[in-house]
A = this chain, B = another copy of it.
Amino acid sequence: MKKLFTATMLCIAATAFAGEGMWMPQQVPQLASELQKAGMKIDPNRLADLTGDPMGAVISLGGCTASFVSPDGLVVTNHHCGYGSIQFNSTPQRDLITNGFLAKSREEELPGGPGTRVFVTTNIEDVTDRVSGKLDPKMSDVQRAKTLDQRSKMLVEECEKPGGVRCRVASFFEGAQYLRTTQMEIRDVRLVYAPALGVGDFGGEADNWMWPRHTGDFSYLRAYVGKDGKPADYSKDNVPYKPAHFLKVSTEGINPGDFVLVAGYPGRTFRYRTAAEVTSSAEYGYPTTIRYATDINNILRAAGKNNKEVELLNASRIKGNDNVLKNYTGTMDAFTKGGIIAQRQKREAELATWIAADPARAKKYAGVLDEMNRLTAEGVATRQRDTVVSWLSRSSPMLAQAQTLYRLSVERAKKDIDREGGFQERDWPRLAEAVDRARRTIEPGSDRAGLKYILDESQKLPSGQRIKAVDDAIAAAGSVDKYLDQLYGNTKIATLEQRRAMLKESTAQLDARNDSMLKLAAALLPLHLEDEQKDLQRGGAMARIRPLYMDALRGMTGGRLYPDANSTLRITFGNVEGYKPRDAVSYAPQTTVSGIVQKNTFSGEFDAPKAEIEAIKADRTKGYVDPQLNEVPVNFLSTVDTTGGNSGSPTLNAKGELVGLLFDGNYEALGSDFVVDPAVTRSIHVDAVYMLWIMDAVDGAHNLLREMSIEPKFDKSARN
Contact = CB atoms under 8 A, between A and B. Distances in A.
A575 interface: no
A403 B587 CA distance: 54
Interface string A573-588: 0000010001111111
Interface in A597-644: 598
Contacts of A583: 212, 214, 591-592, 594-595, 598
B585 A585 contact: yes
A681 interface: no
Contacts of A585: 212, 585-588
A250 interface: no
Nearest to A590: B584
A595 B590 CA distance: 25
Contacts of A590: 584
A189 to B, nearest CB: 35
Nearest to A578: B584
A582 B587 CA distance: 10
A211 interface: yes
A586 B591 CA distance: 12
Interface residues of A, number: 19
Nearest to A594: B583
Interface string A60-97: 00000000000000000000000000000000000000
B582 A598 contact: yes
Contact of A584 (B337, B582, B584, B587): B587
Nearest to A589: B584
Contacts of A211: 584
A589 B584 CA distance: 7
Nearest to A635: B584
A239 B583 CA distance: 44
Interface in A550-595: 578, 582-592, 594-595
A594 B582 CA distance: 9
Contacts of A584: 211-212, 578, 587-592, 595
A337 to B, nearest CB: 8
Nearest to A211: B584
A588 B586 contact: yes
A690 B270 CA distance: 42
A527 to B, nearest CB: 40
A583 B594 CA distance: 7
A206 to B, nearest CB: 14
Nearest to A584: B212
A453 to B, nearest CB: 25
Interface string A108-120: 0000000000000
A587 B583 CA distance: 9
A119 to B, nearest CB: 35
Contacts of A578: 584
A600 to B, nearest CB: 11
Nearest to A214: B583
A587 B584 CA distance: 6
Contacts of A212: 582-585
Contacts of A594: 583
Interface in A233-285: none
A268 B212 CA distance: 35
Interface in A431-489: none
Interface in A391-431: none
Nearest to A637: B584
Contacts of A586: 585-588
A595 B583 CA distance: 5
A629 to B, nearest CB: 10
Contacts of A589: 584
A254 B599 CA distance: 34
Contacts of A582: 212, 595, 598
A94 B648 CA distance: 61
A598 B578 CA distance: 19
A649 to B, nearest CB: 22
A668 to B, nearest CB: 12
A337 B337 CA distance: 36
A539 to B, nearest CB: 40
Interface string A203-222: 00000000110100000000
A679 to B, nearest CB: 13
A621 to B, nearest CB: 15
Contacts of A588: 584-586
Contacts of A595: 582-584
A583 B587 CA distance: 9
A514 to B, nearest CB: 49
A264 to B, nearest CB: 24
Contacts of A591: 583-584
A588 B582 CA distance: 11
A339 to B, nearest CB: 13
Given A584-B588, A585-B587, 16 more contacts: A211-B584, A212-B584, A212-B585, A214-B583, A578-B584, A582-B598, A583-B594, A583-B595, A584-B587, A584-B589, A584-B590, A584-B592, A584-B595, A585-B585, A586-B586, A586-B587
Closest 4 CB pairs of A and B: A583-B595, A212-B584, A584-B588, A586-B586
10 contacts: A212-B582, A212-B585, A214-B583, A583-B595, A584-B591, A584-B592, A585-B586, A585-B587, A586-B586, A586-B587
